Structure 1
Amino acid sequence: MEDIIRGLKSLGLSGYEAKAYLTLLDKGDLSAEDLSRNSDIPLPRVYAVIDELSVKGFVKIIEGRPKLFEAIEPEEALNNYTSYLERRLKEDIERRRKEALRSLPKLKEVYWRNRLKITPEKLSEELSSLRDMEIKTIEIMSSANRSIDVFTSHFKWLSKVEDILKSAVSRNVNVRVLMQIDDKDSAERALRLLKIGVNVRNSCEAWYPTRGTIVDNSKLIYLIWVSDPAKMGGPTVYKPQYTENEGLIAVFRESFENRWLKSRDPIENIRSM
């Protein structure tokens, strides 16, 4: 009997579980009291042991007064137990997979830090929403010392930063806005900008996939559209980003300057609206 108990324990059963199953195989259906008496398992522990054996597929619980416990035929029980172990293994693998995925970004960060000689999180900081982008834009505009370059669509958010731009101009900050002027509302905004001393140009593209602001050539906040909203049926954008990385700023700076050179004087569009 001790050899059989050792064998059951080697499969993963506890000592009490092995004793309880072997006792039920030998004695047949038993109540909790009878099982405790025949197996030397303390009565308070019997129900917990039986619950475990039931989950693992070794025992069937027969409802009644009192409850009886029946051992499942050994071959069927071992098949049940194998299925139980497979389920547990799959659950454990899935749990570990999720933990691995949570750790992956930090592991990749360590990997690339030494290979690229750059800390990935300093390349670009993800902002959680358009509201956060608005707050960050106001913050960097307010601290501008030399220049503010805005590349936008119709500048519908002008009212939120108009006073900030006016203040920047009064501090001799060079403020430039590249925008689309193709309706009365955008023309009215362009005129307001011109009146406070902002340099405004009418972008030559009907649509451009980036929006953002560059301040002092050292701070950049930007938004990239997934595709033309006219084709998507509405705005679809990636999360906004903020960076002080010189390389990224240089890319956006070059794009801005090229588009500025190709842009048009806004006066004609303003007058025609």
Structure 2
Amino acid sequence: MNELTDKLKKIGFTEYESKIYIALLGMPPVNGNEIANLSSVPGPKVYGSLQNMVDKGVVSVVYEEGFTKPKAKYVATPYEQLLEAHFMTVTQDIDHLKSEFKKIEESRPKSILKQDLYQIVDYDLTFKTIKDLINTSQKSIYLCCWKVHEKIIRVDLESAFERGVNIVVLLFDEDKDQTQAQWRQFFHLHADVVDERHKHEINIVVDEESVIISQLEIGNVFTVVSENIALIKTTINYIRHDIYVNRVLTDFHEEAKGKYGLKLQDLLNI
């Protein structure tokens, strides 16, 4: 019995209403006193509960002839009708919630959904991910890396360039070999402290929609892949500013050495 009352309470019945409905189920019309005896609901609580149940449509009133006035008796709404009505109400509510939740979800800014970030700790998988991004690029690629990295993805860069993708590359190596590329390519000024800071580094932004930031020391790989707009913008600006600075230092190298020392130590040691 307790299980049934608990279930009825889940669909809107009170404790007393649950007991009264179960007591009335399958019974001929009975009066309030009889209901109190059948349900074990206290007499003073029976009529208030019955009125609420009549209002809900789960109990009906039947009037019989009395000596002075008609006597009210009560009968339970058939359980099939009760459950069907509840099922229809719940189904309509669920359908409404689905519709409204979908509208809310679709109204959210798409940028909120582009916050996924995951880590790769495998050297080959990092380059596969970089290659996959390059091969799906449509607009732009910003890349900074070492020549050893650039050689691994050069064919992919060439294919992207042939598709019309705008490519900007900063290589951390000195341009001793006068490396030629079809795209805009720049070289980092050589200094021991700079080489150490950028050691194993490769960063790439594709179509300003995806970014990969990586430290690629074999056996100790840390790579982050993300569509987070803050990481994308920061990485693009990092690459651009590094290019700006190195172009100025290359074009005004003697002046820079005169200002900051032969190894630019006064500029680099911060």
Instruction: Please report the TM-score for the alignment, with normalisation by the length of structure 2.
Output: 0.43
For the pair shown, which has the larger CA radius of gyration, 1 or 2? 2
- Structure that is richer in strand per residue: 2
